Amino acid sequence: MKLAGKTDAKGKKFAIVVGRWNELVTKQLLEGALDTLESADAEDVDVVSVPGSWEIPLACRALIDKGVDGIVALGCILQGQTAHAKLLAADVAGALMNLQLESRVPIAWGILTPDDQDQALDRAGMKMGNKGREAAMSAVEMVSLLNSPSLRSRGEGAGGRGEPSTSSTPSTSSTPSTDKILNANGTVNKAATARKMFAEGMSKAEIAKALGVRYQHVYNVLKSKPSK
């Protein structure tokens, strides 16, 4: 079996998180990313501006909780005379990798780590192409790939992340708010309700929003075994 993502972003929600530090460079990366998403027929794109690359993972976390399908991370970390840039790049890369692994939301790497501004400009639309364009295309392809029937997790809808299941098995509720599982005292049993919603095809982000809890809480509940 050979699988590959398509370069079609129609019907999916994307976000771009761009650091303003070294804005001469990141502005060009942003323009390239936006142009690529437009060419891929993306109709729903949010652009989130943050002070620098250090703040990108936190913004990505908030966007995942909101329910995006894919994220493009753009920034520029220039190497200096100290180890600061290397430590920053490593921490940001690790944080973004952990986020996409736990959430299954692709976060495309468009954060430059050049030695100087000339190298950065070369990768923002000059000699080395535009890494913002490349990152955006990577995000589109990964969203398409992860929404393919062969790679969807059990319990995810046939339309992919954030879409309801088209299975012939009827759902026991039309909306999550009208069919929550209650405790004996009448309060909502959020853990049991989260498992039920996930089994019916809702994404973790949708469940978190419906129950008014953080995405990480839903992730932990679904990962753990139900208590007897």
Residues with catalytic function: 84
Classify strands 124-126 and 129-130 as parallel, antiparallel or unpaired. antiparallel
What are the Cα distances from residue 55, in Å, to 49, 60, 119? Answer: 10, 9, 23
Residue for token digits 């982000």?
Answer: 205
CA–CA dist 138, 109 (Å, integer): 9
CA–CA dist 6, 3 (Å, integer): 10
Sign of CA dihedral 228, 179, 63, 69: positive
